A and B are shown apart, each in its own frame.
Chain A
Amino acid sequence: MPPILEVQNLVKKYGDFTAVKGISFDIQEGEIFSLLGPNGAGKTTTISMLSTLYEPTGGEAVVGGHSVTKDPMAVRNLIGVVPQELALYEDLTARENLVFWGQMYNLGGSRLKSRVDEILEQIGLADKAKDRVKTYSGGMKRRVNIGVGLLHKPRLLFMDEPTVGIDPQSRRAILDTVKDLNKQGMTVLYTTHYMEEAQELSDRVGIIDHGELIALGTQKDLTRQVGETETLILHLGENDDPQALAAALNNVHGVIKAEPTDGEVSVICPEAEDVLAAVVTAANERGIKIRSIDIREPNLEAVFLHLTGRALRD
């Protein structure tokens, strides 16, 4: 079967600035594909082109056999979009919002009504359906925002960082919803800057940074790229300087790379046990106090660190 989404060398320039620098990937029907990358990597810009909002500066994308540039209307009927920023009418109720957006997706009559009821049930807002959206909590608004994208049962759903800025409980509910939808057969393109979300949801992941797709494959493929390495996370005392320690550790024999982050230093090495002693000694010599140490198996965070020399979250 041909992929439901084919992206070929997609480019987007904003004036002189190139936000997306020629990315290519495919998504197969039935999978959850995660686009993982820090803020400003170009995730939203990519989604905007795939969903026909912005015309690409170069390259092409094909959804279900329809080009996003040549036949945008056909594409729009196949896709659902959950934008990163809430896109709702705050002075309308949840039900009114769903009804309006359903109409924009050409639903009407009893079909519209039953879909709206189903969605309200699904997002757990059936009893609050008659309240205006502006009275809702952030998490509730996010759920309506997602519900709108599901009304017409799209074959391919774009979700752009749907969990940003909400409480852990709502986040949990959203991740479960994504998995449910996928079980029912919906293909999902999910963007996030949370490594854990990509890790939990998807088999295949694309890592995007500065508008470039720097890694693409299954989580196993990607972690293998890092090599058989482990990561030590050193939690430092409040007054200690991660920068200084990282610099020192980069000279320690057996350390592949040491990176300072906020109050922490992450150290990539082939075998944690071999460098542990040297790491502690180096810290002691500089009077830096290590409060605790985590040892991590290779993960997407390590992949990102390995490829960019930076931590995913900064």
Chain B
Amino acid sequence: MTKLLLIGLKDLKLAFRDRAALILMLLAPFLLTLGLGFVTGRFSGGSGGISEIPVVIVNLDGEQLGDALVDVFKSDDLSELVTLTEADDPEAARRLIDEDEAAAAILIPEGFTQSIMPSAEQFAGGNAADPVKIEVYANPSRPTSAGIVKAIVDEFASRVEEGRITGMTAVTQMIVTGRLAPQDAEAAGQAMGERLAESPGTGLGIALNTNTASGETNDFDVLAYMAPGMALMFLMFTTSYGGRSLLAERSQGTLPRLLVSPTSTAQVLGGKVMGIFFTGAAQLFILIGASTLFFQLKWGDPLGVIALVLAAVFAATGWGMLITAIARTPAQVGNLGSAIMLIFGIMGGSFIQLEALPEVVQWFSKITPNAWGLDGFTTLALGNSLAHLGRPLLALTIMGAVLFTIAVIVFNRKGIMQK
């Protein structure tokens, strides 16, 4: 174990002494973030963050829940973030999107409240209406703003869901206390259960806390999306750079020298992995520190950030090792690494928000550390904590573990010294 650390620290030192590597590891993502910040006007607004997102809402429901959602958007909490327009006609709303007059349109369909809170007759009949879903139309040219609106709606939907569960508990209590006849309750419970099964909790990981403990609103900062996007993209450079160093050590003779010292192949390989991991983690922490310092960017819950960085670096290191295992020369690792860096960058949402990308790409993006990492960082930036990172953390860890397994198998087959 000590040797793994020693080899890893040696590689960390070497990476930070390589000027060309430093440019790509730190300077490039920093400057690109800065550049994108200017392009999107992040630095001209003064206050920082997005405000006055134009939203159009069409409330065809007109009952309790539909009205409640409209009230959410009209609330003081969101008054600065959102500028709301109400419309009667879904077509008109969509036109506003097409003409780029609005960032998102929310359509509350007729019968929304009914489908959630069935009337007594429906309970008795035992056939509940199909759950009706709120639709959000996103303006592809304003992905971040649209994303925020979607997050608010999701949050609302998950609150409603919570309410339903609470409701069911209430039903049970009523039976226990004898206030509801068991034969009626069965039908009521069944109806509720079926609907719940069809639409599992909508807590999609992304959620906007409109009422945090202090009661302040969390503005969503564009940079909170771009900075991690760039950092994650150039993290892929770092991991392929580390993989490349393994092959470079082979040709520069230090790998054979390690292998004739009392150090096992597993220790050498483990040490190289450590080196990539340390370098990647150092890179992300430096970039996070720098953007916090220079852009006043709030990354969110520190524990969540640390956990997410480690998981993302783990997954990216897996990719680096796989590339290294497949390639034959350091140059091949370099080329393959750069290609994957760009493809993952684009596919994983580092440049364009994932929601704006075709569905196939969104699906494919699940194999990139970028997409999951961004998912996590966005979740944190919106004010959530480590506890809400379950999905991205799990996905990144599994990704890393699978990639490592494949890399080790390939290495075993080829031998660390032979091609």
Within 8 Å of chain B (Cβ to Cβ): is A76? yes
Q: Is residue B256 within 8 Å, beta carbon to beta carbon, of the partner chain?
A: yes
Given A91-B14, A91-B17, A100-B10: A105 in contact with B262 (beta carbons within 8 A): yes
Q: Given known contacts A92-B13, A92-B14, is B253 in contact with A51 (CB within 8 Å)?
A: no
Find chain B residues with CB under 8 A from A92 CB. 10, 13-14, 17
Q: Which of B3, B256, B262 contacts A76 (CB 8 A)?
A: B262
* Bound complex: CA A88 to CA B10 (Å): 12
Contact of A87 among B6, B13, B17, B257 (CB under 8 A): B257
Complex CA–CA separation, A217 to B10 (angstroms): 44
B-contact bits for A29-71, CB 8 A (1 contact / 0 none): 0000000000000000000100111100000000000000000
Given contacts A89-B14, A104-B263, contact A83 B6 (CB under 8 A): no
Q: Kindly name the residue among A73, A81, A86, A104 whose own CB sees the greatest number of chain B CB atoms within 10 A.
A: A104
Inter-subunit contact A83/B253 (CB<8 Å)? yes
Question: Is the beta-carbon distance between B254 and A81 smaller than 8 angstroms?
Answer: no
Report the minimum CB–CB distance from B319 to chain A (whole Å). 25
Say if the beta carbon of A77 comes within 8 Å of chain B: yes
Does residue A79 face the partner (Cβ distance < 8 Å to B)? yes
Residues A51 and B260 in contact in the complex (CB < 8 Å), given A87-B252, A89-B14, A91-B18: yes
Residues of B contacting A106 with CB < 8 Å? Answer: 262
A81 adjacent to B262 (CB under 8 Å): no
The answer, yes or no, to whether B401 is at the interface (CB within 8 Å) is no
Taking a contact as CB atoms closer than 8 A, the residue among A73, A77, A103, A148 that contacts B3 in the complex is: A103
Whether B259 is near chain A, meaning CB under 8 Å from some CB there, is yes
| B417 interface residue (CB < 8 Å to A) | yes
B254 in contact with A53 (CB, 8 Å): no
A83 contacts across to B, CB distance below 8 A:
253, 256-257
A190 at the interface (CB under 8 A from B): no
A304 at the interface (CB under 8 A from B): no
A73 lies within 8 A of B252 (CB)? no
Decide: A89 near B10, CB < 8 A? Known: A53-B417, A103-B3: yes
A103 to B267 CA separation, bound complex (whole angstroms):
13
* Residues in B whose Cβ lies below 8 Å from that of A54: 417
Tell me, yes or no, whether B175 is within 8 Å of chain A by CB.
no
Measured in the bound complex, the distance between the Cα atoms of B17 and A105 in whole Å is 25
Interface pair A76/B260, CB less than 8 Å apart = yes
Q: Is B50 an interface residue (CB 8 A)?
A: no
Flag whether B261 is at the interface (Cβ < 8 A). Answer: yes
- Whether B417 lies near A104 (C-beta < 8 A) is no
Assess the A81–B257 pair: CB atoms within 8 A.
yes
Nearest Cβ distance between residue B414 and chain A, in whole angstroms?
15
- Which chain B positions have C-beta within 8 A of A91? 14, 17-18
Which 10 A-B residue pairings sit nearest by Cβ, starting from the closest?
A87-B253, A87-B257, A104-B261, A51-B260, A76-B262, A91-B17, A85-B253, A81-B260, A87-B254, A103-B6
Mark B residues whose CB is within 8 Å of A.
Answer: 3, 6, 10, 13-14, 17-18, 252-254, 256-264, 417
Query: Residues of A with Cβ closer than 8 Å to B?
Result: 48, 51-54, 73, 76-77, 79, 81, 83, 85-89, 91-92, 96, 100-101, 103-106, 148
Q: List 27 A-B contacts (CB under 8 A).
A: A53-B259, A53-B260, A54-B417, A73-B262, A76-B260, A76-B261, A81-B260, A83-B256, A85-B252, A86-B253, A87-B252, A87-B254, A87-B256, A89-B10, A89-B14, A89-B254, A91-B14, A91-B18, A92-B13, A96-B13, A101-B261, A103-B3, A103-B6, A104-B261, A105-B262, A106-B262, A148-B257
Q: Apart from A51-B260, A100-B10, list 9 A-B contacts with CB within 8 A.
A: A52-B259, A53-B260, A73-B262, A83-B257, A85-B252, A87-B257, A92-B14, A96-B13, A101-B261
